[in-house]
Amino acid sequence: MLPVIPLAALFLAAFVLPLIALVAISLFRTPQFAELSPAQYLRFFSDPFSIKVLTDTIWLGTEVALATLILAYPLALVYAASGQVMRTLITFLIMLPLLTSTVVRTFAWIVLLGRDGIINTAMLSLGLWQAPARLLYTWEGMVLALTQIQLPLMALPVINSLLRLDGNLTRAAEGLGAGRARIFVTVILPLTLPGAIAGWLLVFAAAATAFITQTLVGGGRIILMPSYIYQQAVGVQDWPFSAALSLIFTLAVTGIVFAIGALSRRCVRGVDAA
Amino acid sequence: MELALSDVRGLSLDLKGIGHAFGATVALDEIDLTVAAGELIALLGPSGCGKTTMLQIIAGFLRPSRGEVRFDGARVEHIPANRRRIGMVFQNYALFPHLTVFENVAYGLRARKTAKDVVAAKVEQMLGLTQMASFARRLPGELSGGQQQRVALARTLAIDPGLVLLDEPFSALDKNLRLDMQIEIKSLLKTFGVTSIIVTHDQEEALSMADRIVVLNNGRIEQIDSPDALYDRPASLFISSFIGHTNLLRGTVTDADRVQLDAGPEIDLGRSTQRRRGTQVTISVRPENIAFGAERPGAIPITIRATLPLGAVSVTEGVTASGEAVKVSQARAAGIAKAQAGETAWLAISDVSRVSIFSTPVDDVSKFQQRSV
């Protein structure tokens, strides 16, 4: 019990207390901290723009999680079928993004996607494109960059659960006459779902809250919750509203994380062979 | 049996000149085996003897480096596992943990795109045969080992396989349950008339289940025979020590039918040793073929080490003057005096015709001798 006291103290001071402060601040009606009321929350839910920012942010997290999921399975299957040398190489490539700073990774994407960036320059000089395409400061560019940056969060748990899958199960399915696609859908996918869910939750939460990448690759044209909160707090100096935004965003992300977790635990059982 | 099972027939299996190597390691060498339709065969051998490799080659998970695999006379090496009409029962049963008993048994039928009502009828029939009907909606994790094994067998038999392969099927079961399941599964396999191959390292399992036993050692077949023949007439020193318990006694041939044992006496085998005088031999005498007797010519003196009461029989362990361990098994009838450790006793071979004789290998016999009961 005793050794966890420093951690508990840190958690209390750096997380619980600020959270309580945040709740308190969000309950003031004006930026001058006058009058207690739920006005900030009413303001959020009656404002279509604010709601759009929230749903866009959640949608971004969903898209990035889905993209990493689709990329992670082939990667995991190749990994599981590979020898030791190849596995080490794949692990290194997967881990690489985690070994560089977010800012560096994001700037690398700016270099790639920019108007005079590598992709545009290459396509133009190959004559495939007539004019430079706008890749940077677009939704798609942002999804692409976040997908690459957050792939390890999905790939590692999926690989881990695939390696723990009993090889006799796929052999049994094959022996019973199932082809590769059926084995994947009825055996591999449901039994590695816990890994995929873990990955999904990590990527979803990380992508939705990725302030730096969202801001730099999105370039301020796309307003998402993290930059919205920053703008309200630092730009407009409306602390009560930005506190309310923070709490709504936190609750939305954790709510979705818990809901998906609970829902898919039920689905794992219900997966049918049909 | 009221079920229409008469049209279900096992297929015949032929292995010819099968060889397989993993890199430089030879796992199987020159395997020839013919299995008749409906026969129940056990592949028996110590771990690393190549029996699992052989199973995987028959199943189609592994392509042999050399040789032919024929099902009903047709070569199948190029046919993948999912097209071979093979049913596989795995050591850990490999039931799909996320599917119910019903869905597990239905898996193979659904993979064959069988109509829904046919699937339901077939699964019901299989669960009925294996007495698992009331567990249809359970998950495998909620079943006991024996129940899981029944489901595994029902799942395998549901696809009407021509050949069922069982990989160490009883090793995960309690010893008490094992014999019951062996009887039950043997009768199920026989009812279906399906050809079956059981891979095991447990000689009791092989002896109790199989019509014929194939003994593998170091990637080669040592002997193929019925359980009785294997026990009574082992073809090699390895088999005599691997199948059941035995006592190995060294000696020298002194006459056409006589052997001078290192342990003391000269014994008359009642038949020709078919070896020249002076040849070093090892005779194998089963513990139940040896009994305590009086001190007389031909009796083998031993020093008692311990007596182990093992339920129906009592096993006495002793050591000869030449240092060979000897076990004597006798029915625990009343009136048998319990021999005390350290005493000297005299042993007589009950039936010399059931004694096997082998040339003593160049290396030590002791590697074939068993340590304890």
pLDDT in tens, B48-93: 888 989 998 999 888 999 999 999 999 998 888 888 888 989 988 9
Residue of chain A whose alpha carbon sits nearest to that of B164: A175
Number of other CB atoms surrounding residue A261 within 10 Å: 14
Q: Which of B215, B232, B249 is the last residue of a domain?
A: B232
Q: At what angle do helices A102-113 and A118-125 cross, to 10 degrees?
A: 20
For B113, the closest chain A residue by CA position comes to A274
Q: Please indicate whether, in this complex, the C-beta atoms of A272 and B99 are within 8 angstroms of each other.
A: yes
Please give the average per-residue pLDDT across B127-145, as a whole number.
92
**Domain of B87: which CATH number?**
3.40.50.300
- B82 reaches A (C-beta below 8 A): yes
Burial B221-232 (b: 16+ CB within 10 A, else e): bbbbbebeebbb
Domain that holds residue B354: 237-372
The answer to whether residues B134 and B175 belong to one domain is: yes
pLDDT at A20: 94
Nearest Cα of chain A lies from the Cα of B63 at a distance, in angstroms, of 15
* CB-based contact, B172 to chain A, within 8 Å: no
Q: Are residues B227 and B287 in the same domain?
A: no
Q: Which residues contact B95 (CB under 8 A, 6 or more apart)?
A: B104, B140, B148, B151, B152, B155
Contact yes or no for A273 and B94 at CB 8 A: no
Residues of A whose CB is below 8 A from B126: none
Task: Kindly state whether residues B207 and B352 are assigned to the same domain.
Answer: no
- Whether residues B248 and B264 share a domain: the answer is yes
Domain boundary among B212, B232, B252: B232
Query: Which residues of A make CB contacts under 8 Å with B?
Result: 166, 168-169, 171-179, 182, 186-187, 190-191, 268-269, 271-274
User: Are B165 and B246 in a shared domain?
Assistant: no
d(CA A185, CA A202): 23
What's the CA gap between B55 and B61, in Å, rounded?
9
- pLDDT score of B366: 63
CB contact under 8 A, B98 and A191: yes
pLDDT at B261 over 80: yes
Same domain? B100 vs B156:
yes
Q: What is the pTM of this model?
A: 0.77
On whether both B76 and B189 belong to a single domain, the answer is yes
Residue A182 with chain B: CB contacts under 8 Å: 111
Site from B96, B142, B160, B199 to mutate, A interface, most A CB atoms within 10 angstroms: B96
Q: In CATH, what number is assigned to the domain containing residue B338?
A: 2.40.50.140
B99 touches chain A (CB under 8 A): yes
* Residue B132 confidence (pLDDT): 92
- Alpha helices (runs of H) in B45-90, residue ranges in sequence order: 51-59
Query: Which among B90, B103, B106 is the nearest to A172, CB-wise?
Result: B90
On whether both B119 and B142 belong to a single domain, the answer is yes
Look at residues A224, A197, A230 and name the one whose alpha carbon lies nearest to residue A208: A224
Residues B176 and B71 in one domain: yes
For residues B269 and B343, membership in a common domain is answered with yes
Handedness of CA B21, B25, B29, B34 (dihedral sign): negative
CB B267 within 8 A of CB B353: no
Share of chain A above pLDDT 70, in %: 97
Q: Domains in chain B: how many in total?
A: 2
Min distance B111 CA to chain A CA atoms (Å): 5
Are residues B96 and A273, on separate chains, in Cβ contact within 8 Å?
Answer: yes
Give how far B246 is from chain A: nearest CA, Å.
37
What average pLDDT does chain A have? 89
Q: Which residues of A touch B87 (CB under 8 A)?
A: 175-176
Same-domain check for residues B175 and B321:
no
Among chain B residues, the shortest Cα distance to A181 is held by B111
In B, which residues are within 8 Å of A180 by CB distance? none
Which tokens sit at B140? 């495998």
Q: Indicate whether A251 pLDDT > 90.
A: yes
Last residue of a domain, one of B232, B256, B275: B232
Which range has the worst mean pLDDT, A52-56, A106-110, A245-249, B133-137?
A: A106-110
Q: How confident is the model at residue B15 (pLDDT cuts 50, 70, 90)?
A: very high
Contact A217, A145 (CB under 8 A): yes
**A171 → chain B, closest CA residue:** B61
Q: Which residues of B22-34 are buried (b: 16+ CB within 10 A; e: fewer)?
A: eeeeebbbebebe
Mean pLDDT score, A124-141: 87
A191 chain-B contacts, CB cut-off 8 A: 96-98
CB-based contact A178 B82, cutoff 8 Å: yes
Q: Is the ipTM of this complex over 0.85?
A: no
B176 and B222, same domain (yes or no): yes
When CB atoms are compared, the residue of A175, A177, A272 closest to B103 is A272
Residue B1's pLDDT is what?
Answer: 39
